[in-house]
Structure 1
């Protein structure tokens, strides 16, 4: 039966290519971590970059994916078209099939034709193929399916694809579909936006060249295939509708929005732009949050915040007054959660984040838009038609109004544009790299590590999978030294005192991943060579290097060697790593199921854990979480490792981390079963602490993880928090210690407490009470000293009032007084204003070897031109400093106390010069 729904079409595509011996590879996350030139995954081939470049080997040569894609910035920015356009989106799905040096043009064309006409049952007479101008091979292959008049040739802009300025590239062949009356079919409609009814559904890229720096093309030794078909376009064609938004990818959300608003069909049609923006942006935000992005001011976080706020603004425009995007997200979670399990797994986080960001924006939106209207009115009065860039940026910096919303409102309501170049200049940190070429920052060609790996594989020293990596079976291993790398070059020997990178046939050393740091240790040989291993890295997939210094003898390739991990250090790391799993579980139990891991560091001396949460965790709650973690440690749960299918693990409830790459078979860490309630003091019991139904016979903790762990939680010993702070919008960080580190931390604190008790001559239990008594006594003494200082100052002030000068009818005081701080000086200035109805005073003092002054002027003299800020500024120059303030009160400071008398002597002249008769 012909697939017709979007879920059926996606499944049919993947199943079809799986039958054609393609590996179904899960979608890569939207945020790009491996390519610094990309903010988001913007094509299906992004996750296969290293495979296409020959830097990575996979267990398969054919792959197929349904890839999540974001195109919202750079050259591929579709944002402004979202809403008015029937086909533009910020987020969409890209269906693709890939060949890594396996099949080429013939098979790619055959597979595409077979899927479209066989599985999708599209009428062949409605299909066109385009090829590159001189790609006769592809044109000839298409003649097996299409008549010559429906095989069209186009130039580089349409039918030649390149990864970047240099690197793999090649011609491509697009497949176009005509949906109109067959009697009107016309080849001139292909690639012509002026003739409706023609849509490009698939692009087959034939990577057969490598473009050199001189722009010449060199044939690739293993030509490859990269195809991309927009899911939304294909569904539109199959379902026979005119707009992507009329497909079942969007209609459930649009109907839910209509239901929430209570709109009639006519009202929905009238507000179609707002409906589409909400549907598109709501979907994009849902997937971004599920992939670990949180709203922020830069990078991916800025994009997420911008699309949430843009959707909220359009929602307000069509009738929403309360947060609504959670309802939109829930439809997508229900609709697409079976295909993208992260949606269901992170449902609470998605809904929590959307509501929080909508509420935050709603609090400032009215004020921001009112300010924008005032700015626009002022610009109109001056005859200007463009909002300056710095003004637009100030709207963002002050009111949180993204540039995109300012641009929308300016255009829709006022017919104005925004100086975006000026905006970017004002917001230098806003230079977000995206869409500028998927391979722009990748080094094309060989490097020492890939060369060494390839040589070892070709020489039979390693198989295609590379170094045998097994940090799980033990902490020592006998193996063979295969290669040495020194100063970026392969070396034949390494001598004592020399730093070197060592490649062995196998290794028990753990390589940093998932936040857990690499192992250290040593390498020794039967001949007496010894090397200290300071770090272990994986510079290219399949190659592991041990970096350190040879301390004894001479190490050579071919030597048999014993690799030994620092066992004590590894044990500390294992304690901290398992503790992060317990911590993750208890954070969710105590703070809510929106909590998700957003980063971690697992080191021997401490652990650091970042998690999604929008407010500080108070000391009492931290105490309850700490108690619950220690309770789980004391229960001594078994920690079990098991390998299982990724989909099965996720369906069974295993937690997966944001942005991590997982294969089809995953390693899972299961801690215990549902525990018994036996709370520690300050805790509330592990079972009782659960929220939202975790438990019920489920494991205490169940996560996907490739790291090292203890065998039983009791080995952790003790868990102790050492800090909590914010690290970004919606992300908190806690730090903690376990085992030996926690013992040392607690012991030092207890010893400090004992020392304090000794100094206070009090039992430990009474230390707090004794300290509070001492502090209160100290505060009482300070109050008495302050009162005495005020009395002395009042006495000085009363004496000074007897020596007021007369300057142009104004009473003027300029004197040095003996006070300890500027606050007392300001108080004396207030006394002057209370006692002298019309006058000016400048009072100075010296503290810690530096002069400081306070000036005050009554309101009537301000009206005559005398200002305290001006007085402070001028006298400050004399003492080598600066000053200023309000017209009625100002202060100054300087560096030269010897000139204070001169500064005060100048006051009368300054007053005389400033006062107007």
Structure 2
């Protein structure tokens, strides 16, 4: 059974049992505590928690997963075991409060034994030590012998993270036989003999991060069945690396390396890393992740660079990753069609990343080699040798560098067995590279610390991590992303409100709701905006801190912040009090929370009038629709690879972050603005409507990054070209946006750009400000606004001429000053401060004095009008003094230096500290005269 056949068999089996077949969700999860989708259940966490109602009680998916960052990080094990992959496919069937253990366990057994045809006598089962119910079902209902049911502790407890749904699990293992390791079942036997092929997670609890577990109201089933592991068993190959999904990639790796897979254990590790990392790279880029220095992009960059470094160590000088990702598309594109659509773009991104890193690798490798040589020299002088030198001789790498590699032994328990194990040799104690060296490599040369660690590990060195982290503290403390808007997991009060009253009725098309009912009023006391204590009424000043409360209504005109659009402000007015609404967010999905300051009294159950600031909303509508047109224009001008990576829609401006691999030129920016405004002027109709997700996808609607969508979605057709999913508020026709004006474009990270723009009246105000500025400049230049360029050029020409005249006068005066300076010489050495003399004039004067009879050396200093310090030293070329030596310490005193090579007779230095000139000249005098 090949990969495609297994996917089809799994989906069909569960579809026949009432499960809705769902396509894989993105590798970018909506759960903020996770970098990537690490398991099949991640997209369904709100359903297990009860914060959202699932559209159906049974689902089946084949989910793309990546484990390469944060808590779920298998990166360092890749290629060295048969069980770990950066990217993998998790087959799963799910029950949300429907069937449970009694149905899930027998169905799992039926699929494994009858559909896949695996021998029941080779299957073992594990359960959590506390789960008597599952053990009983396995033994009495399924018929698994008691001796093949084993109880474990942590290995049979599953959780997506420190917070969220969790519960006991029960796993099915396949016994590959005694040739693959010791017996004793999965609890006691060899990990490479007993292969986990099925994990039944019984979702019974929610963890809050403190160790407390809360029973879920509707326990569910989450099955995780690793497609790659099952294929290895079905295809009868010794390792998952030999299945049909990896074979073409390993064949390409052989061509790249010019080596045979299976011939050398260490080379096998590199080839496996090529295959694994190429799959993860292609999948992540296709899902919208770009190599960068932050979060997901940092992990992707590390994945690409690990593969490239392994190619480098093997002596491969050609770019390798584009070739590998092309094979990934060929192998997996029939099921994941986005790969085919993004084939060329994926190849371009990885090619640019690899080329840049190869240059970095060459430079960083030389510096690292030099630092390690210094450590080695210190050891040699002390009569010691490094562990790496004791263990094995160096081997050459590209460019003639010498690399040390720690040997890895292979354990072959069968003729085709390819399982890498650590060397049995006792590991010498590693030596330490100073943390500041690793930081300098990282900060100055862009050499990743992970790569430094890997290279050092091969040579039995390690990094002083404490020193490195101390040097990196400021960078590591930078804000990662804007994550605001309430608690990560729902407060029980919010759940009760949602369960009792249902979702908030959002009245989208009216600025006022005259007959809203107050469902609850909570005092706000915590910094994150969560409530602490419910009250029947909130009196003025009752709440602590800023006196803020959060109010819940059955229906509201207030838009809750989401999709980049900020929440509405306005007022809620009742018979005995008023609430000034300062923001509106989601407490839970579909539950609007109005945050405001109260005057008077507002009681639960009261009928109130809710009114938004409609003028502010109108400005937001213009900017939000403008964001969609800007997105379309970016793709038109720069290419379809442009994907939204964040946005802010406020009344005064819009901000749009997008993926792009290079800077946007001024000409491109002008064209983007022109294309966007041409579309706006055409005044196409804007249609905003609800439809099914399947229909939205069929018409090519683009989903915005970070937004979450259900089966029913809102589509915005902004004119004839832009079709996107969006739940925000928008104009009726594009002409309502007014003129869109780009005010800035900049880089916010590697391969990430940001545009800020204004629309509507903000554009008018900006143009008026620009006119005022032009008029003011014209008045200062004694010209008309349309003649400012010519007037400025005249002033520049005049300034240039005046500076030329000043230089000529200074040179004329210098000849006279030269005589004075020569007369002040002591033992043929002239040292003097020339006040504010220009740099060029100072240099000319120094040379003029040096060329007089009897002068051995001249050091002159000045503080030029443009700022800073100028130091010039000139010596007799036939003499014994050195110009560089005269200025070496003097330049440091004024906070500067010089870059002269060799020992020239004339050296010019700069500095930042004019107050240090006197001390600098004293130091030069000591260097020249010794006093």
Deviation digits for residues 836-886 of structure 1, max 9, x if unmatched? Answer: 77544454567899996846363745469973344567xx6xxxx877778
**Structure 2 match to 1:611:** 658
Mapped to 2, the partners of 1:650 and 1:666 lie a distance apart of 10
**Structure 2 match to 1:716:** 737
* Cα displacement (A) at 1:662: 2.0
Matched, 1:787 2:808: yes
Deviation digits for residues 665-692 of structure 1, max 9, x if unmatched? Answer: 322222333xxxxxxxxxxxxxxxxxxx
Change (3 A) 1:904 1:428: closer
Task: Please give the secondary structure, in 2, of the residue aligned with 1:710.
Answer: coil
**Structure 2 match to 1:547:** 595
* Cα displacement (A) at 1:122: 2.6
**Structure 2 match to 1:819:** 836
Matched, 1:469 2:506: yes
* Cα displacement (A) at 1:357: 0.5
2:821 equivalent among 793, 800, 822: 800
**Structure 1 match to 2:103:** 107
Moved more, 506-515 or 786-795: 786-795
Moved more, 833-842 or 744-753: 833-842
1:537 equivalent among 542, 564, 585: 585
Q: How does 1:725-874 map to 2 (within 5 A)?
A: 725-757=746-778, 760=781, 762-806=783-827, 811-820=828-837, 824-825=841-842, 828-835=845-852, 839-843=856-860, 854=871, 856=873, 858=875, 860=879, 862=881, 867-870=886-889
Change (3 A) 1:150 1:185: farther
* Cα displacement (A) at 1:92: 1.2
Is the Cα contact below 8 Å between 1:349 and 1:595 reproduced in 2? Answer: no
Mapped to 2, the partners of 1:829 and 1:883 lie a distance apart of 19
Q: How does 1:17-28 map to 2 (within 5 A)?
A: 17-24=14-21, 26-28=23-25
Matched, 1:118 2:105: no
**Structure 2 match to 1:684:** none
* Cα displacement (A) at 1:226: 3.2
Mapped to 2, the partners of 1:659 and 1:794 lie a distance apart of 71
**TM-score, normalising length from structure 1?**
0.82
Q: Structure 1: 5+ residue runs without aligned partners?
A: 434-441, 674-699
Q: How does 1:477-556 map to 2 (within 5 A)?
A: 478-487=515-524, 488=531, 489-495=533-539, 499-525=548-574, 527=575, 529-550=577-598, 553-556=600-603
**TM-score, normalising length from structure 2?**
0.81
Moved more, 207-216 or 502-511: 207-216
Moved more, 399-408 or 705-714: 399-408
Q: How does 1:202-241 map to 2 (within 5 A)?
A: 202-208=198-204, 222-241=218-237
**Structure 1 match to 2:424:** none
Mapped to 1, the partners of 2:587 and 2:316 lie a distance apart of 51
Change (3 A) 1:211 1:504: closer
**Structure 1 match to 2:433:** 388
Q: Structure 2: 5+ residue runs without aligned partners?
A: 380-384, 388-430, 478-485, 525-530, 542-546
Moved more, 570-579 or 241-250: 241-250
Mapped to 2, the partners of 1:445 and 1:759 lie a distance apart of 60
Mapped to 1, the partners of 2:221 and 2:318 lie a distance apart of 48
Moved more, 609-618 or 381-390: 381-390
Moved more, 84-93 or 470-479: 470-479
Moved more, 513-522 or 718-727: 513-522
Change (3 A) 1:837 1:346: farther
Deviation digits for residues 71-92 of structure 1, max 9, x if unmatched? Answer: 2246654333323434421111
Matched, 1:151 2:148: yes
Mapped to 1, the partners of 2:750 and 2:256 lie a distance apart of 29
Is the Cα contact below 8 Å between 1:636 and 1:713 reproduced in 2? Answer: yes
* Cα displacement (A) at 1:141: 0.7
Root mean square deviation of aligned Cα: 4.1
Mapped to 2, the partners of 1:393 and 1:844 lie a distance apart of 36
Mapped to 2, the partners of 1:610 and 1:671 lie a distance apart of 19
Deviation digits for residues 822-843 of structure 1, max 9, x if unmatched? Answer: 6654554454445477544454
* Cα displacement (A) at 1:501: 1.7
Mapped to 1, the partners of 2:490 and 2:280 lie a distance apart of 38
Q: How many residues align?
A: 852
* Cα displacement (A) at 1:537: 0.7
Mapped to 2, the partners of 1:398 and 1:193 lie a distance apart of 49
Is the Cα contact below 8 Å between 1:644 and 1:665 reproduced in 2? Answer: yes
Task: Please give the secondary structure, in 2, of the residue aligned with 1:805.
Answer: coil
* Cα displacement (A) at 1:660: 3.1
Change (3 A) 1:48 1:797: farther
Change (3 A) 1:575 1:73: closer
Moved more, 419-428 or 379-388: 419-428
Mapped to 1, the partners of 2:750 and 2:606 lie a distance apart of 52
Deviation digits for residues 692-728 of structure 1, max 9, x if unmatched? Answer: xxxxxxxx12222222222211111211111111110
Deviation digits for residues 172-211 of structure 1, max 9, x if unmatched? Answer: 21101134599x9996243556475431111223344678
Q: How does 1:190-209 map to 2 (within 5 A)?
A: 190-191=186-187, 194=190, 197-208=193-204
Task: Please give the secondary structure, in 2, of the residue aligned with 1:190.
Answer: helix
Q: How does 1:244-323 map to 2 (within 5 A)?
A: 244-255=240-251, 272-316=268-312, 321-323=317-319
Task: Please give the secondary structure, in 1, of the residue aligned with 2:520.
Answer: strand
Task: Please give the secondary structure, in 2, of the residue aligned with 1:780.
Answer: helix
Is the Cα contact below 8 Å between 1:149 and 1:187 reproduced in 2? Answer: no
Change (3 A) 1:776 1:158: same
Mapped to 2, the partners of 1:638 and 1:603 lie a distance apart of 23
* Cα displacement (A) at 1:741: 0.8
**Structure 2 match to 1:328:** 324
Mapped to 2, the partners of 1:906 and 1:195 lie a distance apart of 70
* Cα displacement (A) at 1:894: 6.3
**Structure 1 match to 2:31:** 34
Is the Cα contact below 8 Å between 1:793 and 1:819 reproduced in 2? Answer: no
